[in-house]
Amino acid sequence: GENVEQHPSTLSVQEGDSAVIKCTYSDSASNYFPWYKQELGKGPQLIIDIRSNVGEKKDQRIAVTLNKTAKHFSLHITETQPEDSAVYFCAASRAGNAGNMLTFGGGTRLMVKP
Amino acid sequence: DSGVTQTPKHLITATGQRVTLRCSPRSGDLSVYWYQQSLDQGLQFLIQYYNGEERAKGNILERFSAQQFPDLHSELNLSSLELGDSALYFCASSVSSGTDTQYFGPGTRLTVL
């Protein structure tokens, strides 16, 4: 089955700096890669996703890159703000008619210091 | 607010007991997913239903079962509970079964004493 590894497990940055979180996956057939943000006491919230036919996607301060050859994808947050502090999860799936089973990485606790 | 509702928010029970967790998907979503989040196992996929039928299955224990009803709400049944079943259980929903965004509910925190 799919295995997703995520690094680092904790990341502390100064407000205004950039943050980068990296994930690797094992199943070359995976085709869908979402990123979720989880705040304390809440469910995961999708912040951005990318499909395997795209190499990069950007949404304001957030960008995701995908390298299918190396089987890794990364989340980039620019101009970090204190409200970006949360746990971030990457995930991968081989989505299709047989379902969309997300395999999650272990999570990264991001702390943005004002 | 994702539009996915889960009840109850908290559940405390004893080993050996059986509980039922309930999920209502977003309006119009046909797929429902169940995930377990624990400190040692992280976020793990349990099972997916699409329009009432099981679509994908993860490492769901035999003591656990789920179903999706004609009104599309879903229930996750956990029986013969063990201490290790204590976790957050999340329901998510999506429009269909493929690469659509999965929207997560607020979760049910289960504590087994």
pLDDT in tens, B80-106: 999 999 999 999 999 987 778 899 999
Instruction: Flag residues of chain A having pLDDT under 50.
Output: none
Per the model's pLDDT, the better-predicted residue between B5 and A98 turns out to be B5
Cα distance from N-terminal residue to C-terminal residue, chain A: 41
Local confidence band at B5 (pLDDT 50, 70, 90 cut-offs): very high
Minimum distance, in Å, between the CA of residue B79 and any CA atom of chain A: 23
What pLDDT score was predicted for residue A24?
A: 98
What pLDDT score was predicted for residue B99?
A: 73
What pLDDT score was predicted for residue B65?
A: 97
Mutation test of the interface with chain B: which of A23, A102, A103, A104, choosing the one with the most B Cβ atoms within 10 A?
A102
The residue behind tokens 């039922």 is: B20
Relative to beta strand B103-104, strand B5-7 is: unpaired
User: Residue B15: is its pLDDT beyond 80?
Assistant: yes
The answer to whether residues A100 and B98 touch, using CB atoms and an 8 Å cutoff, is yes
Local confidence band at B41 (pLDDT 50, 70, 90 cut-offs): confident
The dihedral through the CA atoms of A52, A100, B37, A1 has a sign that is negative
How far is the CA of B62 from the CAs of A45, B39, B47, B65, B66, in angstroms?
29, 21, 12, 7, 11
Mutation test of the interface with chain A: which of B33, B51, B57, B99, choosing the one with the most A Cβ atoms within 10 A?
B99
